[in-house]
Chains A and B, each alone.
Chain A
Amino acid sequence: MKKILLSSALCTALVYGLDVLPAEKRTFDQSKFIPDISLIMDASYVDRNVKDADVKHLAVPGVVHGLLGSHSHGDDNHATYNVDNGFNLNYAELVLSSSVDPFFTMDGIFHFSENGVEIEELFFTSNALGYGTKVKGGKFNSNFGYLNEQHHHTWDFADMPLVYESFLGMHGINETGAQIQWTAPTPFYLMAGFEILQGENEQMFGNQSVDLTVINPLAIPQTAEASDGAGLYVGYIKASHDIGDTTILGGISYAQGDSMIDHSVDEEPTVFSGDAKLYGADLVILHALDSYSSIKWQSEFLARELDGIEYANNSLGVFISPTMLKKQSGLYSQLIYTHDKNWRMGVRYDTILQNDVIENGVTIEQPDGLDKYTAMVEYHTSEFARFRLQYSRNNAMFDEDGERKKIDTIILQANISIGAHAAHSF
């Protein structure tokens, strides 16, 4: 009996005793310095009319290979979105943010996925300079265009617009570098920004030399030489004006950098080396009906020019290095209706407008009608949980025999967050 009493007393002491001191009285307590933390999960159920194994081999002709499949390079740890038929655990996003000192704040955004952990963003920002000037350093999403800066979980659709994903990949321009932005002291919103970035984007830029003997042991030159070091420059201007309850935001963007598109380990290996230019124009018009209801029309146009040399083997297995010029453009336009705090719905149209591939001065004919149609409806149980049903018809994908593969995809997406309250930008 005594023993029981004693042990229960001990248990009580353990349970309550350790917690007696309030946080502010604990010596050396640092808990007040814990940064804002939030955790966001994104999972989906996917039903696609094409087998997973086949999807990886599909291409947007002249633009990109293996668009929907997991990345062909084994050495990266990017989170992928809605790749497999059936269930996908896309990522857990951990966000930490806090002031560093009176001069800086720091934000870290980490993607935990089945491919590993990726530093999605990690940067310091200073607002201390004054005159509307903001500087940022680290790894971050470039402010090119409108959508590029946004994270996957704030997109209005479960996947990226076709033109973005084809040109830049599903993480967009996500690079290490430095950014400076200046908001003008005008009566309306006017912002200009400039970024110097490392330029490692696999689909468009690149600054690492590639060993061409992997393609063909007799390759001359033996390596495709790259610049080494930061090789991507981005600039943009954005302006906005309100007319009553309608807000108009428009921007133009430009990116220029060295390009090295390395497919040297693919079945039909190619390496492109040259210069890349990317032009962007975006327009967003939002009309607020009341505090919770709005109509948003969002469109972006992207155009790129890749100019350089493509290294490959010809049909006889002989190493060739023709000059390659690609002039391509595309756009997406989407309309989102927010009904109330619970319901949202939207449609999106995607297309590749121009697809000129010129090899050794000769235009290689590319198929027309590269477009995609998407519709979605969302239900929010609160600000912190969203369920989305999305259907898309993609007419832009072709198999290795050059046959068009119409892809129908249904995605049921769950996006749930806990922790610090998210505040969204426009």
Chain B
Amino acid sequence: MKKLLTLLTLLPLTLLAHLNIVVSYPYIGALTKSIGGEHITTTVLAKGNWDPHFIIPRPSLITKVRNADALIMNGAQLEIGWLPPLINRAANPKTSPSSPTFLNLSHHVELINKPSLVDRKDGDIHPDGNPHFHLDPQNILLLANVIKEFLISIDTEHKEVYEKNYKEFFDMWSEKIVIWKQKMQSKNGLKVIQFHDNLAYFNKAYGLTNIGTIEPLAGIPPSSKHTIEIIELIKKEQPCCILHDVYHSTKTADFISQKSGIKVILMPHDIEALDSIDNLSALFDYLTSAIK
């Protein structure tokens, strides 16, 4: 009887202590889980193998936001086309952008490629700068710290656990950064072509230069005129390769590859983008080995 009573009193306590954190993308989920450990559960809204700009706002996602204790998003307008109506329909005060349980990661990172002039004649641009900042491994450390502080602020009770987990993650990741840097050393100075400038931060971290994109302007599908221009550019500038995301069709890239002789390399942008990538380290292990 006593046991049952203790169980009954403990049950709601453990339920309460367990924070349900909804995040927009898989990488945020993995990072948050690394810091939060057993005190949190993470629910990821977007699928890792889909274009992060275009997530279908399925009604099931409304329920996920509705049941959340906190929400962590990438920000910098990456979610602008799909997250606002989900938050609005979920009507959860804890996931309102003005709430202390809401975290916009982009506010804590220095964004690059911020356009000086914001005009849609230049395509569907991100006015705050390039939002794909998590592909610089240094930024992952920065974000880990931001998430640690965030978790402490909403769950002070487990401060020590979060700090300990963060320390472990920091040490592990710092070692990896050294390894990845060594692997990428010989690639410094290479020129690359992309479909969309997803890898701006990755390129910056390892000294790669993006000289052109297959899409003529951000968000505008490839045109034959622009494709010919890219083939000309490749012949002139001799980039090593086309770094291609997993969610756009490689049809145009394959055509360019055939005409210019440079290879197309699939570059996953997030966990689950390819089947083999099931954690954050695996993502960077893959990215830093992809260019041969």
Q: Which residues of A contact B (CB under 8 A)?
A: 99, 102, 105, 125, 127-130, 132-134, 181, 183-191, 238, 240-242, 247, 249, 286, 288, 290-292, 294, 340-342, 382-384, 418, 421-426
Once the chains bind, are B54 and A291 in contact (CB under 8 Å)?
A: yes
A-chain residues with CB within 8 Å of residue B96 when the two chains form the complex: 127-128
Once the chains bind, are B98 and A183 in contact (CB under 8 Å)?
A: no
Minimum distance in angstroms from A41 CB to a CB of chain B: 15
B-chain residues with CB within 8 Å of residue A421 when the two chains form the complex: 77, 80-81
B-chain residues with CB within 8 Å of residue A423 when the two chains form the complex: 57, 80-85
Can you give 16 contacting A-B residue pairs, CB < 8 Å? A127-B90, A127-B93, A133-B91, A240-B60, A242-B58, A247-B58, A291-B50, A294-B56, A341-B219, A341-B221, A342-B221, A383-B219, A418-B120, A422-B81, A425-B85, A426-B58
A384 and chain B: residue at smallest CB distance: B120
Q: Report Cα–Cα, A288/B57, bound state, in Å.
A: 12
Once the chains bind, are A183 and B60 in contact (CB under 8 Å)?
A: no
A-chain residues with CB within 8 Å of residue B59 when the two chains form the complex: 189, 191, 238, 240, 247, 249, 426
Give the secondary structure class of B's interface: loop
Asked if B66 CB lies within 8 Å of chain A CBs, one says: yes
B120 and chain A: residue at smallest CB distance: A384
Minimum distance in angstroms from A393 CB to a CB of chain B: 32
Once the chains bind, are B92 and A127 in contact (CB under 8 Å)?
A: yes
Give the secondary structure class of A's interface: loop
The 4 closest A-B pairs by CB, nearest first: A134-B91, A240-B59, A291-B51, A189-B59
Once the chains bind, are B92 and A340 in contact (CB under 8 Å)?
A: no
A-chain residues with CB within 8 Å of residue B107 when the two chains form the complex: none
Contact with A along B41-76 (1 / 0, CB 8 A): 000000000110010111110110011000000000
**Could you say which of B56, B66, B96 has the most chain A C-beta atoms within 10 Å of its C-beta?**
B66
Q: Report Cα–Cα, A130/B90, bound state, in Å.
A: 9
Once the chains bind, are A189 and B67 in contact (CB under 8 Å)?
A: no
Once the chains bind, are B82 and A183 in contact (CB under 8 Å)?
A: no
A-chain residues with CB within 8 Å of residue B66 when the two chains form the complex: 132, 183, 185
Once the chains bind, are A189 and B60 in contact (CB under 8 Å)?
A: yes
Q: Report Cα–Cα, A99/B90, bound state, in Å.
A: 16
Q: Report Cα–Cα, A133/B91, bound state, in Å.
A: 6
A-chain residues with CB within 8 Å of residue B56 when the two chains form the complex: 247, 286, 288, 294, 426
Q: Report how many residues on chain B are interfacial, defined by Cβ distance under 8 Å.
A: 34
Minimum distance in angstroms from B286 CB to a CB of chain A: 20
B86 and chain A: residue at smallest CB distance: A425
Asked if B88 CB lies within 8 Å of chain A CBs, one says: yes
> Are A292 and B54 CB-contacts (below 8 A) given A127-B88, A186-B63, A423-B80?
yes
Q: Report Cα–Cα, A247/B88, bound state, in Å.
A: 20
Once the chains bind, are A426 and B57 in contact (CB under 8 Å)?
A: yes
Once the chains bind, are A125 and B88 in contact (CB under 8 Å)?
A: yes
A-chain residues with CB within 8 Å of residue B157 when the two chains form the complex: none
Minimum distance in angstroms from A195 CB to a CB of chain B: 16
Minimum distance in angstroms from A183 CB to a CB of chain B: 5
Asked if B255 CB lies within 8 Å of chain A CBs, one says: no
B84 and chain A: residue at smallest CB distance: A423
Once the chains bind, are A241 and B60 in contact (CB under 8 Å)?
A: yes
Q: Report Cα–Cα, A291/B80, bound state, in Å.
A: 16
Asked if B168 CB lies within 8 Å of chain A CBs, one says: no
A417 and chain B: residue at smallest CB distance: B120
Once the chains bind, are B51 and A132 in contact (CB under 8 Å)?
A: no
Once the chains bind, are B92 and A292 in contact (CB under 8 Å)?
A: no
A425 and chain B: residue at smallest CB distance: B85
Minimum distance in angstroms from A108 CB to a CB of chain B: 16
Q: Report Cα–Cα, A424/B88, bound state, in Å.
A: 12
> Are A382 and B81 CB-contacts (below 8 A) given A183-B66, A286-B56?
no
Q: Report Cα–Cα, A291/B91, bound state, in Å.
A: 27
Pick the contact of B63 from A130, A181, A188, A292 — CB < 8 Å?
A188
A-chain residues with CB within 8 Å of residue B98 when the two chains form the complex: 99, 102
Q: Report Cα–Cα, A290/B51, bound state, in Å.
A: 9
Pick the contact of B91 from A132, A186, A294 — CB < 8 Å?
A132
Pick the contact of A247 from B54, B60, B85, B123 — CB < 8 Å?
B60
Contact with A along B136-164 (1 / 0, CB 8 A): 00000000000000000000000000000
> Are A128 and B93 CB-contacts (below 8 A) given A292-B51, A421-B81, A426-B58?
yes
Once the chains bind, are A290 and B247 in contact (CB under 8 Å)?
A: yes
B-chain residues with CB within 8 Å of residue A238 when the two chains form the complex: 59
Asked if B108 CB lies within 8 Å of chain A CBs, one says: no
Once the chains bind, are B247 and A383 in contact (CB under 8 Å)?
A: no
> Are A187 and B57 CB-contacts (below 8 A) given A290-B50, A423-B85?
no
Once the chains bind, are A132 and B90 in contact (CB under 8 Å)?
A: yes
Once the chains bind, are A383 and B124 in contact (CB under 8 Å)?
A: yes
Asked if B220 CB lies within 8 Å of chain A CBs, one says: yes
B-chain residues with CB within 8 Å of residue A342 when the two chains form the complex: 221
A-chain residues with CB within 8 Å of residue B247 when the two chains form the complex: 290-291
Asked if B89 CB lies within 8 Å of chain A CBs, one says: yes
Contact with A along B91-102 (1 / 0, CB 8 A): 111001010000
> Are A134 and B89 CB-contacts (below 8 A) given A187-B63, A242-B60, A286-B56?
yes
A135 and chain B: residue at smallest CB distance: B91
Q: Report Cα–Cα, A384/B90, bound state, in Å.
A: 26
Once the chains bind, are A382 and B58 in contact (CB under 8 Å)?
A: no
Pick the contact of A183 from B58, B89, B120, B221 — CB < 8 Å?
B89
Once the chains bind, are B54 and A183 in contact (CB under 8 Å)?
A: no
Q: Report Cα–Cα, A187/B66, bound state, in Å.
A: 10
Once the chains bind, are B80 and A340 in contact (CB under 8 Å)?
A: no
A-chain residues with CB within 8 Å of residue B92 when the two chains form the complex: 127, 130, 132
